[in-house]
Amino acid sequence: QELQEAVQNIVGQLSTDSREVLQAREELGFSTSEAADLLGWKLEKVYSEYYRAKKRVRDALLETYGKERVTHWMGKRPRDLAV
């Protein structure tokens, strides 16, 4: 619950492009190609914006909660954390 709220708060602070690509890829489960079609973007923009958005969320979680707590929540190494 706490992690979900933290992620939502962080995502809410991202740019519109970052929020849209995260929603398309993570919430809707679209492939990169499908997200590009939905958003009207080139594939390269989807790849780069998705990577940057996930990194921003991961970095914000690590900065706020620390590596130990975040890895406990996620059960993964911090560099592997997905939104």
pLDDT score recorded for residue 78: 44
* Residue 54 CA: distances (Å) to CA of 6, 18, 59: 14, 9, 8
φ/ψ of 67, rounded to 5, equals -60, -45
Q: Given this model, what pLDDT does residue 83 score?
A: 47
55 C-beta neighbours (distance < 10 Å), count: 13
| pLDDT-wise least confident of 25-29, 63-67, 69-73 | 69-73
Taking 70 as the threshold, does the pLDDT of residue 82 lie above it?
no
In this prediction the pTM is 0.80
